Structure 1
Amino acid sequence: MFRSSQINTINLLLLPLLLIISISIGAATFHWGDLFSSSDTRSLLLYSRLPRSVAIILTGATLAVAGMVLQIVLRNRFLEPNMVGATQSAALGVLLVSIWLPQATQLTKMSCASIAALLGMTLFLFLFRRLPAHRQMMIPLIGIIYGSIIEALVNFIGVETNTLQLLAVWFAGDFSAVLAGRYELLWLTGLMALLIYFLADRLTIAGLGQNISTNLGINYAQMMWISLITVAMITAIVVVTVGQIPFIGLVVPNIVSRLAGDRLRQNLPAVALLGANALLVCDIIGRTINPPYEIPVSMIFGIAGTMIFLYLLFRKPSVHAA
């Protein structure tokens, strides 16, 4: 069993190295030695490479934190925003506002996507509450089906309104279009993750159930709404800015929990750092497999995340001697 501090140390050592590699590679030539002598190199760093790397770090960290919050408050290790309809509902909200208000700002799209994601998660929560306790292993499968239904609705609207090209942007997470001025909304996700850290103890108690939360003086309904709204905002901002990236919120919290146990406050920094590093690695792989072309990071992480998810879903629980 590792300690959270050990995982943090490893990830803190890896993060600067991965950040340097991420900044160094790409279609355009970049040399660190030309940073102070060439204005083109400085512009490439400040307007393209650095914003892209920061966007990757914020996206990976906050999606991982959002997944851990869902797993704690809903008491199921196999949930993440993509499996409760949040991502698909956010894409539906962005699509509708793009059709009805084509000149809408990014902030307006983010707000509508957040509301849609919250409504989508609320409906899933309604289905979640109706499932018998002995059928809890069915929740991830129900979530996948639920999300697929919403995604099918989004695709149908896209076909009918000739907006399939927009859907390709929101359903295929990609950082190739991230530039200075196009990613700043992601800083709001960092604030959401910080809020979760300050409320970690209360969210942990809320995850124990309504009766225990009430007995310990925690407003269960309030904590549930705060967690759902926070996850909805993180998901919506990511979808609006870079698109859908699956399985980060599922894989990363489970890895940290297996290594360091179930302690929300202690594990949150480790989850955020591992999420950032994992997404950086996938982006680096996507840019180096077939240069100068890029494979979307959602595809790289989707393949790895699918295999890890199936392993977590079907692995036999370990048996400990009494």
Structure 2
Amino acid sequence: MNLKISNLLHRKLFWLIILIAASVYSLTLGVKDFSLLGLFTRNGEDIKLAIISRFPRLISILVTGASLSISGLIMQTITDNKFVSPSTAGTMEWSRFGVMIAIMFFGGEAKLFKMLIAFICSLFGTLIFMQILQTMKFKNAMIVPLVGMMLGNVISAITSFIAYRFDIIQNMSSWLQGNFSLVIKGRYELLYLGIPFLFIAYIYANKLTIAGMGESFSKSLGVNYKAIVLLGMVIVAVITSTVVVTVGSISFVGIIIPNIVSMMMGDNLRNSLPVTALFGALFLLICDMIGRVIIFPYEISISLIVSIVGSIMFLALLFRRKKKWSTS
């Protein structure tokens, strides 16, 4: 047992070192010349560039990757379905709907106000999704996310129609596709609001795991099922709304990373939360570096890179699980 724990710690340390190395390399990427040595020699231009652009972008990528992967893990735990995430449950589409309302009726100048409206809409939409699941008699592993995606597509179509109707589609474009190229000092700090909720998720990890086993099982162990599920939905809604308002919609992270971690560590939420955050941050950082290097000095949108890489990994996971089901 001690050997197993030691190997696990070594693996975590290895991936943490990889993340640190990738983060350092990410700081050097960009059109404008930048030297890490200049930070230590107090070069004014390098320090200014690092504070205004390089560090904010790196922090926003790491926080976004960790947040989306953990929100996906929470949703998969609560619904007991490995293919549910904010992007397959319609949560991101509801967040964009909230942003559209903020722009159309209130101008949406303040990001905090946009985030509040997006949070309300995403929580409302996620609760609708959960209510639909409660009424479903046949909950196949593939049907549940399909229901969420259909609901999300309906909301997305309504959002696009209203945006075109009132000529605000250009204002909505930045929230339709994730992009870190505009992240600078003063435009990413809203992501910090989601960090406390990650710690809350860790504190209530065991109860969230029990809630994923069903209402009757939760009650037998003295866990308030509805309150814990609502807490999980609030965490997911806050994280999703902050990400959508700050950098836009990014899919697949919440599906792929929790599945990879569960294959490695099992379904214990408290044990897998830190590793899920680590892998989510590393995955998004690598995708961002690919998008910045492949056609340098130009940049490919992070959502496009994640969609390509994520779809390949998702298909691999799908066939792996299909093979597992067929042999069991």
**Shorter-chain TM band:** over 0.9
Q: Is the 8 A contact 2:102 2:108 kept in 1?
A: no
Query: Does residue 245 of structure 2 align to residue 240 of structure 1?
Result: yes
- Pairing partner for 2:261 from 237, 242, 256: 256
- Pairing partner for 1:305 from 298, 310, 317: 310
- Assess, with a 3 A threshold, how the Cα gap between structure 1 residues 143 and 314 changes in structure 2: closer, same or farther: farther
Structure 1 vs Structure 2 CA RMSD: 1.9
Aligned length: 322
Q: Gaps (5+ residues) in structure 1?
A: none
Query: Does residue 233 of structure 2 align to residue 228 of structure 1?
Result: yes
Q: Is the 8 A contact 2:249 2:303 kept in 1?
A: yes
- Pairing partner for 1:202 from 200, 203, 207: 207
SS in 1 for 2:140: helix
Amino acid at match of 1:254: N
Amino acid at match of 2:215: Q
Amino acid at match of 2:20: P
For residues 120 and 29 of structure 2, the distance between their equivalents in structure 1, rounded to whole angstroms, comes to 37
SS in 2 for 1:256: helix
Deviations for 1:10-52, whole angstroms, at most 9, x for unmatched residues? Answer: 2211111011111100111111222234211100001100010
Deviations for 1:163-189, whole angstroms, at most 9, x for unmatched residues? Answer: 122222101101111111111111111
Equivalent in the alignment of 1:291: 296
Query: Does residue 278 of structure 2 align to residue 273 of structure 1?
Result: yes
Quote how far apart the aligned CAs of 1:160 are: 0.8
For residues 200 and 232 of structure 1, the distance between their equivalents in structure 2, rounded to whole angstroms, comes to 17
Q: Is the 8 A contact 1:4 1:270 kept in 2?
A: no
Quote how far apart the aligned CAs of 1:228 are: 0.3
For residues 89 and 288 of structure 1, the distance between their equivalents in structure 2, rounded to whole angstroms, comes to 33
Quote how far apart the aligned CAs of 1:253 are: 0.3
Amino acid at match of 1:299: L
Q: Gaps (5+ residues) in structure 2?
A: none
Equivalent in the alignment of 2:114: 109
Q: TM-score, normalized by length of structure 1?
A: 0.95
Equivalent in the alignment of 1:18: 22
For residues 203 and 259 of structure 2, the distance between their equivalents in structure 1, rounded to whole angstroms, comes to 21
For residues 154 and 16 of structure 2, the distance between their equivalents in structure 1, rounded to whole angstroms, comes to 39
For residues 246 and 231 of structure 1, the distance between their equivalents in structure 2, rounded to whole angstroms, comes to 14
Higher alpha-carbon deviation: 289-298 or 227-236: 289-298
Q: Identity, % of aligned pairs?
A: 37
Quote how far apart the aligned CAs of 1:130 are: 2.3
Considering Cα pairs closer than 8 Å and 6+ residues apart, tell me whether 1 or 2 has the greater RCO: 1
Quote how far apart the aligned CAs of 1:146 are: 1.6
- Assess, with a 3 A threshold, how the Cα gap between structure 1 residues 152 and 111 changes in structure 2: closer, same or farther: same
Quote how far apart the aligned CAs of 1:5 are: 3.3
- Pairing partner for 1:145 from 145, 150, 170: 150
Quote how far apart the aligned CAs of 1:132 are: 2.1
